[in-house]
Each structure stands twice: as C-alpha cells, then as structure tokens.
Amino acid sequence: MSFLTSLAGGVVIGLASALLLLVHGRVAGVSGIVGRLVDGRRDTVAIDLAFVAGLIGAGVTFGMVAGDAIGPAIMTRWSSVIAAGLLVGFGTRVGNGCTSGHGVCGIGRGSPRSLVATLVFMVTAGVTVFVVRHVLAVTP
C-alpha cells in the first residue's frame, strides 16, 4: 500500500515539476527557488514566492483533509535542529541543488552532475542515519 501511495505521490511531484517547466521553463528545485528568494533576486521573485506559497498551501490543505499528512519532527534537541538546518541550507546552496533539483529534475533530464550529486547526498545521509541510530544510538 505505501509503495502505491509513494509511487502516486512521485508521479504528482513529476507532473508539478513538468508544469513549472512547461509554463515558466524553470527547474522545480526547491533549494534553488528558496535560495533565489534569500538572495533577493528580483527577476524571478513573483514565480518563486508563488511556488513556495503553493507548497505551504498544500501542507495547510492536506493537514485539514488528512490529519496525518504531516508527520512530527524526529529531532528533540535544539542543537540538532539548528545544526541540521544549517547543513541543509549551506550544502544545497554550495552543491546547487537538493532532492528535487538534482534528484528529480536533474536526473529526469539525464544530467550526470545531478546523478552524482544525488548519489553523494544519499550516501552521506545513509551514513549519518547509521551513525546516529546504530553507532551513537541517540535521538538527534
């Protein structure tokens, strides 16, 4: 069952990314979109703000329709929350993409750079989970 909902959700993500490409010619990379807003880029601000508003709007809508649409955070220490956020923001900006930009759009258009980036962050994420859960055995 969860395989089917995951596949269906993935198809919807792919269609949403295709819509942004078809209408605006832009890559649906969330870290790139947020990064442009943080940088104060004027030329894309309307599209970028609208996309982010749509993301939050989906969370609001699904939160109302299905009570379990958004899961609770797994982190319990503020030091972990801040460290993880800094790493995600810094890393996606330096690496020029995240799960959506590299993992979906980049691989989807056959970019070797994005394929390598995705493999790298999958591996370091997996190693991090292994160390936290099985070596240190702590709650982050």
Partner 1 sequence: MKAVSAMMAGLLFGAGLCISGMTWPSRVVGFLDVAGAWDPSLAFVMLGAVGTYAASGYWIRRRGAPLLASSFERPAASTLDLRLLGGSAIFGVGWGLSGYCPGPAIVSIAALAPVTLVFMVAVIVGMLAAKRIV
Determine the Cα–Cα distance for residues 19 and 126; give it in Å rounded to an integer.
31
CA distances from 18 to 7, 72, 108 (A): 16, 30, 10
Residue 138 binding partner 1, by CB under 8 A: no
Residue 41 binding partner 1, by CB under 8 A: no
Closest listed residue to residue 32, CA positions, set 22, 19, 17: 17
- Residue choice 41, 99, 136, 137 for contact with partner 1 (CB under 8 A): 99
Residue 136 binding partner 1, by CB under 8 A: no
Closest listed residue to residue 58, CA positions, set 30, 85, 32, 84: 30
Residue 139 binding partner 1, by CB under 8 A: no
Name residues contacting partner 1, limited to 67-96 (CB under 8 A): 69-75, 78, 80-96
Name residues contacting partner 1, limited to 43-62 (CB under 8 A): 46-62
